[in-house]
Amino acid sequence: MKLIVAIVQDEDASRLISELMSENFGVTKLATTGGFLRAGNTTLLVGVEDDRFTAAMEIIEKVCKSRKQIAASPVSMVGVPGAYTPYPIEVVVGGATIFVLTVDQFIKL
């Protein structure tokens, strides 16, 4: 058995949860915040049997596509301590950051 920990953008989360549940994968949703853009993310915990792991990963890959977005990046103003001026930068968002753990034991009470 594997535990997939998938960190996805909030924009992709609802569709991904629906797709996974329609294929009978159990999903636990955690609200999280990313450190770089300080934007909302969703962390999903998906426990899968080894023979269904590839199917779950294919769904995640299909739903969570990377895309470019303009975001404000704070920059310190020279000579003014503590003053910041935001300027736009292009960043890649979306996709998924995935951790896969081997589960030694699964207990459901």
> Tell me, what CATH number does 16's domain have?
3.30.70.120
The reported pTM is 0.74
Question: What would the pLDDT profile of 34-78 be if each residue is shown by its tens digit?
Answer: 765 566 789 999 999 999 999 999 999 999 987 776 666 655 555
pLDDT score recorded for residue 94: 65
Give the total residue count for the chain.
109
Domain boundaries, position 54: 2-66+93-102
Residue pair 41/94 in contact (Cβ under 8 Å)? The answer is no
Residue 88: inside a domain = no
pLDDT score recorded for residue 11: 85
Residue 58: inside a domain = yes
Residue 56: inside a domain = yes
Question: What would the pLDDT profile of 2-36 be if each residue is shown by its tens digit?
Answer: 999 999 988 899 999 999 999 999 999 998 877 65
Q: How many domains does the chain have?
A: 1
Residue 75: inside a domain = no
* Residue keyed to tokens 């995640």: 60
pLDDT score recorded for residue 95: 79
Residue 46: inside a domain = yes
Residue 81: inside a domain = no
Task: Give the largest Cα separation in the chain, rounded.
Answer: 60
> Which residues 6+ apart lie within 8 Å of 78 measured at CB?
none
Residue 23: inside a domain = yes
Euclidean distance between CA atoms 103 and 52, whole angstroms: 14
